[in-house]
């Protein structure tokens, strides 16, 4: 299934939150997400712009296959066409990670980020705080028309929308996230060779 989502980089969180609230958006949560990213030892998923993500969202844990669609570059200078996403809910973060390792996948990275979520008119608006990055806004909806409508309501410039993964946001900021085994608010740990 295609994920319908865009990002707006380097936002002012307070300004965006006020705009959303003024429009009638409802704040859903403010919490820490933790995730583990997996691939095969030969990185065959990465070569196709894909990965397996295990994410603890607090009230639920999801296991997701993600693949960039219409991948043109890895550096984030050009938008992708979209993102394929297949997601299931699992019951245990650590046991699911162990299962993935037992079937031969390897963990590429452990990450944490803070996310503030709002809902407005059937759209999810997430303000994300990742280590070493300026906050950014993700807008996710059921259709591209809904995305465009929300961009217009928020007074954002549609030219500034980005269609790519957080990895590309890191690369745009001169950080090669694949060099790190752990990215958290407290530390960024480089992989050992």
User: pLDDT at residue 1 above 80?
Assistant: no
* Selection from 33, 26, 36, 31 nearest residue 63 by Cα: 36
Q: How far is CA 162 from CA 40, 57, 137, 189, in A?
A: 28, 24, 10, 27
193 falls in which pLDDT band (50, 70, 90)?
low
78 falls in which pLDDT band (50, 70, 90)?
confident
Helical H segments across 62-161, by residue range: 93-102, 144-154
Q: According to the per-residue pLDDT averaged within each range, which of 69-73, 76-80, 108-112 is highest? A: 108-112
pTM above 0.75, yes or no: yes
Structural domains of the chain in order of their starting residue, each with its CATH number = 2-188 (2.40.320.10)
pLDDT tens digits for range 106-127: 999 999 999 999 999 999 999 9
Residue 193 and residue 167: Cα distance in Å, rounded?
21
pLDDT tens digits for range 133-170: 999 999 999 999 999 999 999 999 999 999 988 989 99
CB atoms < 10 A from the CB of 48, how many?
11
- Where do the DSSP E strands lie in 9-96? 26-39, 50-56, 61-69, 82-90
User: pLDDT at residue 97 above 80?
Assistant: yes
Dig out the tokens for 188 from the structure: 């960024």
* Selection from 175, 177, 180 nearest residue 190 by Cα: 180
């Amino acid at each position: 299934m295609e994920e319908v989502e865009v990002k707006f980089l380097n936002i002012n969180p307070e300004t965006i939150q006020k705009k959303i609230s003024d429009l009638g958006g409802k704040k859903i949560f403010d919490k820490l997400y933790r995730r583990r990213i997996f691939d095969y030892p030969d990185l065959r998923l990465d070569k196709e712009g894909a990965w397996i993500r295990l994410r603890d969202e607090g009230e639920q844990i999801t296991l997701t296959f993600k693949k960039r669609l219409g991948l043109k570059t890895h550096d984030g200078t050009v938008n992708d066409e979209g993102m394929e996403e297949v997601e299931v809910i699992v019951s245990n973060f650590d046991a699911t990670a162990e299962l993935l390792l037992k079937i031969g996948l390897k963990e590429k990275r452990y990450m944490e980020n803070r996310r503030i979520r709002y809902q407005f008119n059937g759209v999810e608006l997430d303000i994300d705080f990742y280590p070493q990055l300026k906050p950014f806004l993700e807008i996710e909806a059921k259709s591209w028309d809904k995305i465009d409508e929300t961009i217009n309501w928020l007074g954002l410039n549609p030219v500034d929308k980005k269609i790519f993964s957080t990895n590309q946001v890191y690369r745009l900021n001169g950080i090669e996230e694949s060099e790190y085994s752990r990215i958290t608010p407290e530390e960024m740990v480089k992989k050992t060779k």
